Structure 1
Amino acid sequence: MTKYIKRNIIKELVDHNTNKTRAALKLGISVRQVNRLIKSYPTKGKAAFVHRNTGRKTVNCFTTEINNKIIILHHTKYQ
């Protein structure tokens, strides 16, 4: 589900005070998560629907230097 659909459902929920349970079913999340989105939407706006780890590297990611060494070894020594 895209962030735009989530934003529209939460915006409708905030503006018209509709049913939280129905919104949770539409979004496929719990009512608790709907409450969290309702709380963060007025302060953060659209950014409330973007995952907070977007743009970060994973913790167990190799550096580009190590990746290059692995590729070179794969092509030369461990063919």
Structure 2
Amino acid sequence: MTGRYRVTVAIEGQQMLRGWWQDESVARRKFTGWVGEHGVRPHARIILTDEETGATLTQWPDTESYRLAHTTAQAEQAQAS
């Protein structure tokens, strides 16, 4: 780890990318860029964490959207079976 702020990209629950930055504004720009770059992938999850406090500063999709998307996908799979 080289910085206080960590951005993690996970696809279908598997960590694909992560990076650390000391400056929060730089980490937030990277977060936004990775949302644009990887957010369209199915089951993508992108999280910005403050490593010093352990707090999640932001995440994509937000928790409610993420829950709804997975609930909908599970229901569609059940109907298709």
Shorter-normalised TM range: under 0.3
Compute the TM-score of the two structures, normalised by the length of structure 1. 0.28
Flag the structure with larger Rg: 1
**Which of the pair is proportionally richer in strand?**
2
Q: From the two aligned structures, give the one with the greater helix fraction.
A: 1
TM-score (norm: length of structure 2) = 0.27
